Chains A and B, each alone.
Chain A
Amino acid sequence: MSILFGGRATGAESFNPTFAGRIWMAVLTNLRQSISSLGELWRTPLWTLITVAVLGVSMTFPATLHLLVKNVQQVSNSYDKSFEISLFLQNTATETDVATLSTLLQGNPEVAEVKLISKDAAMQEFKQESGFGEALDFIEQNPLPHVLLVTPKVNTPAAAQQLQENLAKERFVELAKLDISWLERLAALVNLVQQAVYAIAVLLLAGAILVIGNTIRLLIMDKKSEIEVMKLVGATDGFIQRPFLYTGIWLGLFAGILAFLVIELMLWWLEGALARVTSLYQSQFHFAALTFGEFSSLLLIGITLGFIGSYLAVRSHIRAIEPA
């Protein structure tokens, strides 16, 4: 409705007064503006390519690191499950005591498997492995204790530690040993890398926003006279800025697609090397590529970056342009 001339029907209202009609009109206008933004990008292919390449590369790097962390985590998780608690028994424990304890442990719901290494078997093994051989025959009494190797059912380091503490309190148990410090170290390292990846990602994505913002700013400056004319014939700031927002969104979307393609290309290139690594780990580990969810988030991140970058640019610059 006109402000100055009450009763003068203006614009779309003059022929389509329904609410649904106006919504439809707004959808059409947006569609038209988004497609025309795409057309503008198409008309300047070199400029578009360079911009998308810059954005795509700055998205590829964090995405690749994410993929790397994801796979390292998978490897370290597979190690997490391979706990073993060694129970060194007291010297006073007899064969019968050992057998009783072994049966008792097998009944424990947290225990998957119990394996006995008897005094004699341990001595035998030690003789072979240590190289002392015959020299050990001079020892009158076997100083080695009976050992029970317990494989827990639990699969987190903390639960395994809990089990180890419980087993240490069992009768005849001199010492219960769980070697998880190296696992903890690995987990801490993976965590550190992960945090570093996030920090790098934030920096690179902030850079991408600045690139988009600057690109859109140049575009606005380039169209200064056009914007002035639009303001003179009654365009609102919202109407004028929408094509630039769509330009940013398109650039972000294309950058996301480019990042995905580059990663896929890289995986294809590394396929042979990866296959060799995974074969060394036998079937324990399979290299995971980008999932569909990750692909979608890559596109979504691109679109979001494009929108934020272009919004920052249009907000300050479109308002500043006034016809003189």
Chain B
Amino acid sequence: MLRFEQVSKGYPGGFVALDRVSFELGKGEMAFLTGHSGAGKSTLLKLVSLIERPSAGRVIINGIDLSTITSRQIPYVRRDIGMIFQDHRLLKTHTVFDNVALPLVIEGFTGRDMARRVHAALDQVGLLDKARCLPETLSGGEAQRVGIARAVVNKPPLLLADEPTGNLDPDLSKDIMRVFEAFNQAGVSVLIASHDLGLIARMRYRMMTLKSGRMIHDGLMHKEEEAQ
């Protein structure tokens, strides 16, 4: 599904955000990406969503090398990737319904068909009753779930989440993770960047750890790391 081959990303001035990173995320697999802030988690996700391009190496999704994607094609690629952000990035002046509907509107959906899909997505995250609310009336956990609903509304095969629980307390974080698990069980590949090691450890999924741009661990979490 998603494959990194010796991917490096350097910035002008000599800073290296990613250093020869390789991994593969299978179809329908869920994995966590951890590391301290500045370790390169966000940069890695940005390479997948084509916000950034790698300096070296190849990023491949479903067998297609992203370096062959032109800037004109980027919007269409992003429609295949659901993205969730730490600050959820909702449009403040639009209702929850409109926020979730945005990807559908962009793809040309209208009327009843669009409403049906939006309601389905809101139902999946348990916020059907908040459709008419503005984002500022929502709690942090609710806003994040709206963000998830927007990411999954057009049923993308790949979900990326950048610190989705960064601003939430442990109970809410667990709820959010359960939502991701539910989508994963429906066959969606999920990659979550998070530094919440305690939460991840309890969930027993594959974990990739970045340190200063290098992949230093890939697999289930070791007991000694869990103790830290």
Contact = CB atoms under 8 A, between A and B. Distances in A.
B76 to A, nearest CB: 5
A2 B108 contact: no
Contact of A229 (B79, B80, B89): B89
B62 A4 contact: yes
Contacts of A132: none
B127 to A, nearest CB: 18
A112 to B, nearest CB: 70
A233 B64 contact: no
Contacts of B103: 233-234
Contact of B80 (A3, A28, A225): A3
Contact of B76 (A3, A12, A226): A3
A322 B52 CA distance: 10
A5 B51 CA distance: 19
Nearest to B104: A11
Contacts of B91: 226, 229
B61 interface: yes
Contacts of B93: 226
A8 B51 contact: no
B51 A323 contact: yes
Interface string B89-107: 1110100000000111111
B10 interface: no
Interface in A288-324: 322-324
A322 B62 CA distance: 25
B3 interface: no
Interface in A1-52: 2-5, 8, 10-12, 15, 22, 25-26, 28-29, 32
B155 to A, nearest CB: 9
B77 A3 contact: yes
A32 B104 CA distance: 14
Contacts of A79: none
Nearest to A237: B75
Given A10-B107, A25-B108, A5 B75 contact: no
B150 interface: yes
A239 interface: yes
A3 B64 contact: yes
Contact of B79 (A2, A12, A28, A324): A2
B73 interface: yes
Nearest to A225: B89
Give the interface size class of chain B. 20 to 34
A231 interface: yes
B43 to A, nearest CB: 11
B89 A232 contact: yes
Nearest to A28: B110
A5 B108 CA distance: 19
B154 interface: yes
A233 B110 contact: no
Interface string A206-233: 0000000000000000000110111111
Nearest to B113: A15
B83 A29 contact: no
Contact of B106 (A15, A225, A235): A235
Contacts of A25: 108, 110
A28 B111 CA distance: 10
B80 to A, nearest CB: 5
Given A3-B64, A5-B62, A10-B154, A232 B80 contact: no
A10 B64 CA distance: 18
B49 interface: yes
Contacts of B51: 232, 322-324
A323 B46 CA distance: 10
A3 B69 contact: yes
B108 A12 contact: yes
A234 B105 CA distance: 11
Contacts of A232: 49, 51, 78, 83, 89
A29 B108 contact: yes
B213 interface: no
Nearest to B80: A4
A128 interface: no
B108 A11 contact: yes
A230 B102 contact: yes
Contact of A230 (B61, B76, B106, B157): B106
B109 interface: yes
Contacts of B113: 15
Contacts of A225: 89
B110 A2 contact: no
Given A232-B49, A236-B106, 9 more contacts: A3-B73, A3-B76, A3-B77, A4-B77, A12-B109, A229-B89, A232-B78, A233-B102, A239-B75
Instruction: Give 5 closest A-B pairs by Cβ, nearest first.
Output: A11-B107, A12-B108, A234-B79, A234-B78, A236-B75
18 contacts: A2-B76, A4-B61, A8-B80, A8-B157, A10-B107, A12-B109, A25-B108, A32-B110, A226-B91, A229-B89, A233-B79, A233-B83, A233-B103, A234-B75, A234-B106, A237-B75, A239-B75, A324-B51
